[in-house]
Structure 1
Amino acid sequence: MSLQIIRHQQRWRRQLWLTVLCCSLLLAVIISLSSGSYHIGMTDWWQGLTQIQQQIILELRLPRTVLAIAVGGGLALCGAVLQILLHNPVAEPGLIGISGGASLLAVLLIFAGHQFGISIPAWGVSVSAFCGALLVTMLLIRLSHQGQMGGSRLLLLGVAVGIASNALTTWLLYFSDDQALREIMFWMMGSLAYGQIHPAYWWLPFILVCGWLACQHRKLALLQLGSYQAQLMGLDLQKTQRKLVWAVCFISGMCVALAGVIGFIGLVVPHLLRLAGKDGPAFTIPASVLAGSLLLLVADILSRSVVSAGELPVGVVTATIGAPVFIWLLVRRHALSG
């Protein structure tokens, strides 16, 4: 079989996967807009929506659906980039401490608000979470030999910073009153209800950074070959690493700020796609964005459908879906290597 035929088959397989993911995401969007306590059937879509149905879709369900697509795609994108950058198949923003730092400052603000009777604006927790992600990233880059970030060193420092952040968060939980504890726990379990309170201009920097990071698949392909080989091929390793880390920090910080702590998407989605596609970043990056959006949107639909009188925290749903899949991946990998 010639090399040209093999490349054609790989290109066809990549396009097929992306087409299936796009169609699945479109179907999930329709289901998300239709499902809820007020069900909208296919006949309603076909015959024309009433004014009440239009208000429900435009004011409640559409912003939530857009948020699920953005946060799910952003988290999966960050996971895919970090797994290539750190040469670690289980890397994600939570593993290097970014999510922990964001959670710490958000929890600290909620704790202080209840402890001292301070009125916190609707956007206050989101801003503090984003600042926490930035501070953790600055600390990691500072500690990593003045910006010379080896993959293993950055990973170990991130794990240490994450453990310290979680320890401080636990202390704040211990000394919180009942009302603050309920608010903190609900925020830490993740919810797509927070994004509806933010204005539209919050999304512009998020979209721009996500677009820039998604276009770095050529540099990521070089990094996937190894640091030494990437430098031989003309890549400015330190500059590229710093830019990628800052972009991942910005996107994951925005995701935590908009939806709270949602785990497993950045870990499981890129890992599954690499096993299925067996292709480089040119496939993994766009496929991760689509699959991450699809996974979080499906989790949000389940969170609104399982409990009739309310909704489950979407972070709990993603963890319930992601943990068994991750265990299966580990068992499968061990069986193949053994």
Structure 2
Amino acid sequence: MNLDHIIAKERVRWRRAFFIFTSLLTTISAFYLALGELTIFPFWELSEIEQQLLLQLRMPRLISAITIGASLAVAGAVLQTLLANPLAEPGIIGISGGASLGMVVVLFGLPWLASPLGFMVGAFLGALAFTLLLVFVATRLKLNTSRLLLVGVALGILSSAVVTWAFYFSDDMSLRQLLYWLMGNLAGNQWYQLSIVGLVVPILLWVVTQASNLDKLMLGESHAKQLGVDILKLRWVMIVCAALLVGSSVALGGVIGFIGLVVPHLIRLWFGYDHRYLLPLSAMAGASLVVFADLIARLALSSGELPVGVVTTTIGAPIFIWMLVKNHDYR
């Protein structure tokens, strides 16, 4: 079997994978739009109530779920490569904690801004602030990748401590809002909140264009430098991009865990390490998982909704345990 035949065979395999994941996301999205307390058939003639329900409630919520899933999965794939740790995930460097802290500041420090838009802005600015703090500390102290990871963990612990204090001093209504946010929630997302998608899409596209550099980085820093990669620039730009993706996700739907950890790792197990395919497949798989989880969250209870973060954690935790038990290369 010659090299050209192997390459052709791999291309066919990747094309099948893209077709499968595109079909999966399309199918789940169609069920998402159709199913609920009121079943809607989008391609039939709709009543005015059905049109309002489809266009004003389910459609923006679906777009939010797709954006969140793609962003978290791609951010996870990038961080796992940068940190050379397949168990890394976006929250591990404190970005999700910073977003949660921003929401707490809005809820308790700026109560007049306590609205969906205010929470979204607070979460986004919190994630960005923690990222800038991480970059500043790491740059001043000239930290390597391992110590950068430890600083991120420390920032996450700091944010958790502040959130815990907020729990202790909050009243019943504020506590309920905070808990619902921290468990992940897509209910009530509206079109105006989706302006943040205009930031996410260009970042996702740019990250995909850096697939070749990420592949070179996996060979080791010395080899990557010999191949012309600016390691320092690539690392920090990618970290900022990951922070923006995670901050945008938390701003849209609260803290939703395990997507950035589980999805990229499973794609690697099934399809390999080539970032040209890993990144877009992770985006589609992550989007499919969050849409599916939110569909379950909407339909599981007849009297209300489950937080989508609880559903993703329930799905992701057993897979995470399986990853630890099954694979022995996490040293």
Deviations 1:160-194 (A, max 9, x none): 11111111111111111111111100011111125
Equivalent position of 2:91 in the other structure: 94
TM-score (norm 1): 0.93
Contact 1:148 1:238 in 2 (8 A): no
CA distance in 1, matches of 2:194, 2:300: 30
Rounded Cα–Cα distance in structure 2 between residues aligned with 1:200 and 1:276: 32
Matches within 5 A, 1:101-120: 101-113=98-110, 118=112, 120=114
Compared with structure 1, are the counterparts of its residues 194 and 130 closer, same or farther at alpha carbon in structure 2 (3 Å cutoff)? farther
Residues 197 and 184 of structure 1: is their aligned pair in 2 closer, same or farther, counting only changes over 3 Å?
farther
Kept in 1: contact 2:193–2:252 (CA 8 A): no
Q: Any idea what the Cα deviations from partners look like across 1:54-92, whole Å, max 9, x if unmatched?
A: 221111111111110011001001000111111110111
Q: Report the counterpart of residue 144 of structure 1 in structure 2.
A: 138
1:230 to 224, 227, 231: 224
2:31 maps to 31
Confirm or deny: 8 A CA contact 1:190 1:259 kept in the other structure.
Answer: yes
Structure 1 equivalent of residue 161 of structure 2: 167
Residue 99 of structure 1: CA displacement?
A: 0.3
Q: Which residue of 2 aligns with 1:178?
A: 172
Please give the alpha-carbon distance, in whole angstroms, between the structure 1 residues aligned to 2:141 and 2:196: 29
| Structure 1: gaps of 5 or more residues | none
Alignment of 1:321 onto 2:321:
no
Residue 211 of structure 2 is aligned with which of 197, 209, 217? 217
Which stretch of structure 1 is more off in the superposition, 167-176 or 49-58? Answer: 49-58
Q: Assess if the C-alpha contact under 8 Å between 1:130 and 1:254 holds in 2.
A: yes
Write the mapping of 1:1-338 to structure 2, written as runs, cut at 5 A: 1-40=1-40, 44-45=41-42, 47-113=44-110, 118=112, 120-146=114-140, 148=142, 150-193=144-187, 195-196=189-190, 198-334=192-328
Query: How many matched pairs?
Result: 330
Kindly indicate whether the alpha-carbon contact (under 8 Å) linking 2:60 and 2:194 is maintained by their aligned counterparts in 1: no
RMSD, aligned α-carbons: 1.8
How many Å apart are 1:279 and its aligned residue? 3.3
User: Which is further off, 177-186 or 2-11?
Assistant: 2-11
**How many angstroms does 1:197 deviate by?**
5.9
Write the distance in 1 (CA, Å) between the matches of 2:188 and 2:255.
12
Q: TM-score, normalised by structure 2?
A: 0.95
Unaligned runs of 5+ in 2: none
Letter in 1 for 2:86: P
Deviation at 1:46, TM superposition (A): 5.3
Q: Residues 270 and 111 from structure 1, CA distance in 2 versus in 1: closer, same or farther, beyond 3 angstroms?
A: same
